[in-house]
Amino acid sequence: MIHLAGIERTFLVGDEAVHALSSVDFTVRQGEYVAIMGPSGSGKSTLLNIIGLLDRPDKGIYTLENLDTTELTDDQQASVRRHKIGFVFQFFHLVSRLTAAENVELPMILADVDPASRKSRVKAALSSLGLSDRARHRPDQLSGGQRQRVAIARATIMQPDVILADEPTGNLDRTSGIDVIRILEDLHNKGMTLIMVTHDPALSQRAARRVQLADGNISSDTGGF
Amino acid sequence: MKTGDVIKFSARALSGYPTRTFLMILAMAIGVASVILLTALGEGARRYVTNEFTSLGTYLLIVLPGRSETTGGPPPLLGETPRDLTLQDALSLTRHSAIRRVAPITVGSAPVSWKHRDREVTILGSTEALFEIRHLSMAQGRFIPAGDPTRGLAVCVIGYKLKRELFGNQSPLGQWVRIGERRFRIIGVLAKKGQSLGLDIGDLVVVPVASAQTLFNTSSLFRILVQANGRDAVSRAKEMILATIRERHEGEDDVTVITQDALLSTFDRILVTMTLSVAGIAAISLSVAGILIMNVMLIAVSQRTSEVGLLKAIGTPGTQILRLFLAESTILSLIGAGLGVILAYLGTWGLARAFPRFPFAVPIWALGAAVFVALLTGLVFGVLPARRAAKLDPVEALSRR
């Protein structure tokens, strides 16, 4: 379903061109659980951003569910992100002035979901993650683990096909990190494709497929074909 | 995104930063209030002048002896002495259909005495028509009676101030006072009506015009006040006055007719221009408020960079982000304008209490214009920050915390 062919991405740092990704070919099938690893600067976050349509490749073709995304306009890309992709970030990125429930509701507001069904869906999502009693709390009143769970609820409220997690446990202690990983794996077991960037070998061991990046190239891929 | 959701989201964003929001609303409110208040002052001045002119008399024409040459041209070869206006001139005007009332006026100054009290006072000789033309009112007694204007009755009407000074609390009605060399019986006292364009009605004696002419030993008139038969009749009345006097004065155009409307419209134009320029100056404060909104919105965008990045990541197109930030500045200026209108009305109310004689008024056009300009400022100055937010690169925006 995700198919990258000859993807290149170059950044200008000062006068120097840095090849974050050079000619990457990469395919992920529906329902896979992929861990992307690599040292910092190896291009793993750039790869995730390109898959999530937050970044555009300089060269190459990226097709998502048989749709050539490089041809899409800003509005169309936004619509794809809205309906097919869910992001989980290392720093949670919750809107600090909104309550947990409002943060989870946000993607549905953007997608014009009917207000009545919004409330019930938020309620169901929060209670499935054990956050019912935290619905009216603001992010600064929540622990790190709770914040990441709210962020996961927000990422999955639109029932996306793919979840992209960028170091989801990077900012959490061990136990809440394990909690978050379990939740993500649950979602994977229910059929969502999970792509996770991590530099924690213990976490990557849990994934069915491990992809190693080095200097903008895929150096090893346990499930490639 | 539904409109209701946009408004709700922006309102939440504004209430999330109360101090900043309050300051921006305050700036906008002061801008709007100053535009409305200053316009109200200007409009008040205009009304004040209009009222003064109206109290001078309605549809009034003033006939002055002598020709005022306003068009230049060669001076006459032979010196010409303007003919005096006479009582007969004045009476000849009454026969025209465009003219409702004619009040001949003679003015002089003479000592007025009662018992041992003595005052030098302006003596106004006129007829009963003056009462209606100048909108006078009586405090006591009655005005000079109607009758043949050429007969000089020995009666007089005095101003309230003179009455107080000569008679104190006693009733002057029926008393005889000496004016110059003659004696007059007081038949009325004029009510207090204030200063009416330079002539203090309080400090005055009105006598029949013929009596005044005898008193000052003259057959000429100071001027003639003519009231036309309505606004449309003013210009017709002017033509007739000029024609009649020319006929009576052997073909000479030796009088000047001033219409009140001409004066009034001149003043009106001046004051409207003044009001507009004052409003324009006040509008500068509105644009200052606009620049403030732009500044603070720019700060808001940079403070909320990661929020914008997140909104993009969860599928908000750039155009929608633009709308969200524009909605914010529009809400700001709307609340600011509303508050400004309230402030302005409080201000005019306060001013009206402090200066009850000055007719403060907020013109509707100023109200609309101020609110419109406020909204426009909010939108125009909101565009730059909103565009900056919309153009943010999501990856970079998210990498900032």
pLDDT string in tens for chain A (225-residue length): 888 888 888 888 888 888 888 888 888 999 899 999 988 888 888 899 999 998 888 888 999 888 888 888 888 998 999 999 999 998 988 998 899 999 999 999 988 888 889 999 999 999 988 888 988 999 999 998 899 999 999 999 989 999 999 998 888 898 888 989 999 999 999 989 999 998 888 888 888 899 998 888 888 888 755
In a domain, B166, yes or no: yes
Which chain B residue has its CA at the smallest distance from A114's CA? B2
In a domain, B64, yes or no: no
Q: Does B342 touch chain A (CB under 8 A)?
A: no
List the one residue out of A37, A38, A39, A46 whose CA is nearest residue A18: A46
Instruction: Give the number of other CB atoms < 10 A from CB of residue B229.
Output: 16
Instruction: Give the number of other CB atoms < 10 A from CB of residue B170.
Output: 10
Q: Does B197 touch chain A (CB under 8 A)?
A: no
Q: Does A80 touch chain B (CB under 8 A)?
A: yes
Q: Does A49 touch chain B (CB under 8 A)?
A: yes
Q: What is the DSSP string of B130-150?
A: HHHHTT--EEEE--PPPS-TT
In a domain, B127, yes or no: yes
- Amino acid at position B248, single letter: R
Give me the interface pTM, i.e. the ipTM: 0.89
pLDDT at B230: 78
Q: Does B7 touch chain A (CB under 8 A)?
A: no
Measured between beta carbons, the chain B residues lying within 8 angstroms of A83 are 315
Give me the residues of chain B with pLDDT under 50, please.
195, 197
Q: Does B13 touch chain A (CB under 8 A)?
A: yes
C-alpha–C-alpha distance, residues A111 and B311, integer Å: 12
CA distance readout (Å), B194 to B58, B142, B323:
17, 19, 59
In a domain, A20, yes or no: no
Q: Is B157 helix (H, G, I), strand (E, B) or coil?
A: strand
List the one residue out of B385, B382, B392 whose CA is nearest residue B311: B392
Q: Are A97 and B16 a contacting pair at CB < 8 A? A: yes
* Structural domain ending residue among the three candidates B172, B206, B223: B223
In a domain, B369, yes or no: yes
pLDDT at A193: 92
pLDDT at A112: 86
Question: Would you say B264 and B52 are in contact if contact means Cβ atoms under 8 Å apart?
Answer: no
pLDDT at B198: 55
* Structural domain ending residue among the three candidates B167, B197, B223: B223
**Does residue B277 sit in the same domain as residue B354?**
yes
Q: Does A154 touch chain B (CB under 8 A)?
A: yes
**Does residue B108 sit in the same domain as residue B9?**
no
Q: Are A109 and B1 a contacting pair at CB < 8 A? A: yes
Which chain B residue has its CA at the smallest distance from A93's CA? B310
pLDDT at B196: 56
Measured between beta carbons, the chain A residues lying within 8 angstroms of B322 are none
The partner residue sitting opposite A75, judged by closest CB among B311, B319, B394, is B319
Close Cβ partners of B234 (under 8 Å, ≥ 6 residues apart): B59, B61, B228, B259, B261
**Does residue B276 sit in the same domain as residue B342?**
yes
C-alpha–C-alpha distance, residues A54 and A46, integer Å: 9
Measured between beta carbons, the chain A residues lying within 8 angstroms of B317 are 74-75, 78-79
**Does residue B214 sit in the same domain as residue B275?**
no
Q: Are B315 and A55 a contacting pair at CB < 8 A? A: no
Measured between beta carbons, the chain A residues lying within 8 angstroms of B387 are none
List the one residue out of A151, A195, A141, A144 whose CA is nearest residue A174: A144
The enclosing H or E element of A157 equals: none
pLDDT at B197: 47
Q: Are B314 and A52 a contacting pair at CB < 8 A? A: no
Say what the pTM is: 0.69
Pairing of strands A209-214, A33-37: parallel
Q: Which domain holds residue A121?
A: 31-53+79-221
Q: Does A138 touch chain B (CB under 8 A)?
A: no
Query: Model confidence over A172-191: pLDDT tens digits?
Result: 898 888 989 999 999 999 98
Q: Count of domains in chain A? A: 1
Q: Does B81 touch chain A (CB under 8 A)?
A: no
In a domain, B43, yes or no: yes
List the one residue out of B90, B57, B63, B56 whose CA is nearest residue B209: B90
Q: Does B306 touch chain A (CB under 8 A)?
A: yes
Residue A97: CATH number of its domain: 3.40.50.300
Locus of tokens 């992809």? A211
Query: Model confidence over B378-391: pLDDT tens digits?
Result: 888 888 888 888 88
In a domain, B240, yes or no: no
User: Which of A110, A114, A140, A171 best probes binding to B when mutated, by most B CB atoms within 10 angstroms?
Assistant: A110
Q: Does B394 touch chain A (CB under 8 A)?
A: yes
Q: Does B18 touch chain A (CB under 8 A)?
A: no
Q: Is B121 helix (H, G, I), strand (E, B) or coil?
A: strand
User: Which of B314, B391, B392 best probes binding to A when mutated, by most A CB atoms within 10 angstroms?
Assistant: B314
Q: Does A74 touch chain B (CB under 8 A)?
A: yes
| Burial of B340: CB neighbours in 10 Å, binned 0-12, 13-18, 19+ | buried
What are residue A185's phi and psi, to 5 degrees? Answer: -65, -35
Q: Which domain holds residue B124?
A: 104-223
Measured between beta carbons, the chain A residues lying within 8 angstroms of B314 are 81-82, 87, 106-107, 110, 154-155
In a domain, A126, yes or no: yes
Half-sphere exposure of B63 (CA within 13 A, CB side): 35
Q: Count of domains in chain B? A: 2
In a domain, A4, yes or no: no
Locus of tokens 């990469």? A26
* Structural domain ending residue among the three candidates B156, B191, B223: B223
